[in-house]
């Protein structure tokens, strides 16, 4: 794995590998470290689990629920296949219907309010996947159109058993999603 990742991460002054063997950090402690690294400048590459490049999470969130400001080390594609979301980051806010999703780069402080009951489907993309992907690892949040193909891919990944290392089928599914 190291041999595959070294060329992709060449040039990053700081490489952080997050895995179960590392130091235990609370969310607050990780956020403080991220803030400090951002103040220091320079790019930071996060490798969380390249054997599972795209993680999926599905949940129903009731209308009016607020998720307090938080960050993820992985980039996040936030989409509700049913319902309307209000996503905020910095001075920006988006009202997001089921035809669209919001891309939130890793390390970006954001929050979420559900305007209606929402069936949310999140994708969390390992930072090691961004090399060579035009625009996906962008530094700013952006709204993306959810094509019928992308909707089907996200729903398929969310329905898969992805708790362990990905088999060849899930790796191919992740590659198509990232493409």
pLDDT digits (tens, 9 = 90+) for 35-79: 777 667 655 555 566 677 888 888 898 999 988 887 777 888 999
pLDDT above 90 (res 26): no
Contact residues for 86 (Cβ-Cβ < 8 A; gap 6+): 93, 94, 95, 96, 112, 113, 114, 115
Q: Which two tokens stand for residue 29?
A: 């402690």
For all residues of the chain together, what is the average pLDDT?
A: 80
Rounded CA separation 129/137 (Å): 9
Of 14-28, 74-88, 134-148, least confident by mean pLDDT is 14-28
Q: What is the pLDDT of residue 175?
A: 84
Q: What percent of the chain has pLDDT over 70?
A: 72
Q: What is the pLDDT of residue 118?
A: 94
The DSSP 8-state label assigned to residue 137 in this structure reads: T
Rounded CA separation 131/126 (Å): 11
pLDDT digits (tens, 9 = 90+) for 122-147: 888 887 776 555 555 567 898 999 99
Q: Where is mean pLDDT largest: 21-25, 56-60, 82-86, 164-168?
A: 82-86
In angstroms, the first-to-last Cα distance of the chain is 21
Q: What is the mean pLDDT of residues 158-168?
A: 77
Rounded CA separation 99/64 (Å): 20
Q: What is the mean pLDDT of residues 96-110?
A: 90
Report the predicted TM-score, pTM, of the whole model to 2 decimal places.
0.71
């Amino acid at each position: 794995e190291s041999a595959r990742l070294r060329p992709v991460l060449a040039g990053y002054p700081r490489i952080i590998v997050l895995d179960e063997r590392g130091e235990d950090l609370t969310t607050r402690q990780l956020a403080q470290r991220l803030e400090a690294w951002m103040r220091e400048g320079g790019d930071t590459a996060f490798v969380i689990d390249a054997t599972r490049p795209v993680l999926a999470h599905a949940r129903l969130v009731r209308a009016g629920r607020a998720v307090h400001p938080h960050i993820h080390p992985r980039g996040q594609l936030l989409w509700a296949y049913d319902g309307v979301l209000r996503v905020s980051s910095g001075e920006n806010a988006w009202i997001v219907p089921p035809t669209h999703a919001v891309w939130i780069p890793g390390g970006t402080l954001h929050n979420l309010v559900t305007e209606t009951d929402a069936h949310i489907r999140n994708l969390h993309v390992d930072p090691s996947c961004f090399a060579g992907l035009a625009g996906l690892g962008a530094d700013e949040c952006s709204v993306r159109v959810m094509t019928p193909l992308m909707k089907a891919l996200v729903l398929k990944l969310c329905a898969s058993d992805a708790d362990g290392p990905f088999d060849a089928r899930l790796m191919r599914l992740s590659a198509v999603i990232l493409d």
